[in-house]
Amino acid sequence: MAVKASDKTSPRSQNLFNSVFRFLSLPTPSPSSTPDYYEWRTQFMRSRLYLLAWVGLICNLSFIVWTLTLRILPENIGPSGHFVILGIQVLNVAIFIACILFLRFFFNKHYIGYFLLVPSLSTILSSQVIVGLGGIYSPAFVAWVLIFLGNATLVPVRWQLHLTLQIASFLGYFAIIRAFGEDIAHVLTITLGDRAIPSTIIFLLLIWVCIMENLSVFLYERLQKSEFMARSQLNKAYQELTFQKERSEQLLLNILPQSIAERLKDRSLIVDSFADVTVLFADIVGFTQLSAQIPPSQLVELLNQIFSRFDRLAEGKHLEKIKTIGDAYMVVAGLPLPLTNHAEAIAEMALGMREEVNRFNHESASTLQIRIGISSGPVVAGVIGIKKFAYDLWGDTVNTASRMESHGLPNCIQVSETTYAHLKGKYEFQLREGIDIKGKGTMTTYLLQGKHHKQ
């Protein structure tokens, strides 16, 4: 039972920690979201300096509490000294609060370095004043090291900024020593017990810490910049790959239905049977003679304009364009997704195609005519081959629809008896009997006139 209780409280503790961390920090930008390294470095510094300001604020508040409650200061500091130390800590708290507010609401990237220099330098110098009030004039080694290392771990970029802070700290220390009336040359040794330790050793240790800090920050920044550039290049490559993938998928969808394209990605054989669909064939009357009269480029442009109109019609009616061969246009309703009113959808498509050709003639002063054939019934659909594949249909229904078109009349829509059975009573037809159809024999067909208008 105890293990279960621990398991239940662990996520809560983790969530509490995450909430506190989000409150104390700004989000760190991702290299992939910021293309410029220097812009990313500025945003990175801002988020880390914000966290550093909170840490400094908490430390100074803690020191104030210790000063007031535990009386940890040396006994030789009088009441006035205690008041000065408390005032210094309050000033530090005010500086850190100002940094937090500016970083949060009034951030200016041109002065980002001040948010490291000002609070860090004020903390170092105030600690030096505090120990100086206690009669100790050697550098406050622990405070200096903690601040330098804290900066190097929380804000590990721009080693020049860290070096500036270190130089300013040494200069500020000497100024404070002079303010206390001590001769710098006189402050050469400190006494710990019976052993005399030269003050120069502390300076050498601090200089060594500064060198190690700057070297660490310098190496980290170089590594971070290299990693940033590598991630940026990887992100660009990924975006290009994504773009090319989307483009190839869009091209695939231009030649295959979406459901078929998805199945084709699995490299599975695409063969489906459909019990009842409606197929339409259409071509331009006299196209062969027309192609001999106008330049090829103009001929292709003409076909593109007409077939583009047909494509928009098919898309609007959710039909599946199968292919174009020369001046022939093939479209089907009822696959790959079943459609209950497939014959009506194709009938509307055919009437719309005829209207579009008439509209094109009116706009371009042309005299084109279209011939359309329609048939309904079962088909087999699929994708065959391994190169330049296309979604195609096979079966007697396809052959019949093609014959309806080739044996039709200009500007007429000829349908088979199977299609007529779907549409009778809804559309008006003209009967054609005894039509000799190649490969089919004598057939009864119908010419679709238009929508049936009920009285």
Same domain, 279 and 230: no
* In the block, residue with structure tokens 């604020």: 57
Task: Decide if pLDDT at 423 tops 80.
Answer: yes
- pLDDT of residue 297 exceeding 80, the answer is yes
The answer on 158 and 102 residing in a single domain is yes
Per-residue confidence (pLDDT) for residue 214, from 0 to 100: 92
202 and 84, same structural domain?
yes
Percent of the chain with pLDDT over 90: 18
- pTM: predicted TM-score of the whole model, two decimal places: 0.54
- The 3-class SS string of 72-95 reads CCCCCCCHHHHHHHHHHHHHHHHH
Q: Same domain for 148 and 86? A: yes
pLDDT per residue as tens digits for the range 73-122:
556 566 666 777 788 888 888 998 998 888 888 877 778 888 889 899 98
Type of residue at 173: Y
Confidence of residue 268 (pLDDT cuts 50, 70, 90): low
Burial class (CB in 10 A: 0-12, 13-18, 19+), 233: exposed
Do 175 and 296 lie in one domain? The reply is no
d(CA 20, CA 35): 30
Q: Is residue 6 part of a domain?
A: no
Q: Are residues 201 and 346 in the same domain?
A: no
Residue 96 within any structural domain of the chain: yes
Share the mean pLDDT of the chain.
82
pLDDT band at residue 193 under the 50/70/90 scheme: very low
Domain boundary among 212, 236, 260: 236
Co-location of 301 and 182 in the same domain: no
Q: How far is CA 354 from CA 291, 307, 381, in A?
A: 21, 12, 27
Regarding beta strands 391-394 and 413-415, do their DSSP bridges make them parallel or antiparallel, or are they unpaired?
unpaired
Residue 243 resides in a domain: no
- Reported as a pLDDT band with limits 50, 70 and 90, residue 126 is confident
Q: What is the CATH number of the domain that holds 408?
A: 3.30.70.1230
pLDDT at 70 over 60: no
418 forms beta bridges with: none
Can you give the pLDDT at residue 234?
Answer: 85
Domain assignment present for residue 2? The answer is no
Residue 44 maps to a domain: yes
Q: Domain check: are 229 and 280 in the same one?
A: no
User: Domain check: are 283 and 427 in the same one?
Assistant: yes
Q: What percent of the chain has pLDDT over 70?
A: 81
**Total structural domains in the chain?**
2
pLDDT at 372: 92
Domain boundary among 219, 236, 253: 236
Q: Are residues 215 and 285 in the same domain?
A: no
Which domain does 409 fall in, by range? Answer: 271-451
Q: Average pLDDT for residues 166-194, to the nearest whole number?
A: 75
Buried b (16+ CB within 10 A) or exposed e, 211-229: eebbebbbeebeebeeebe
| More reliable by pLDDT, 85 or 2 | 85
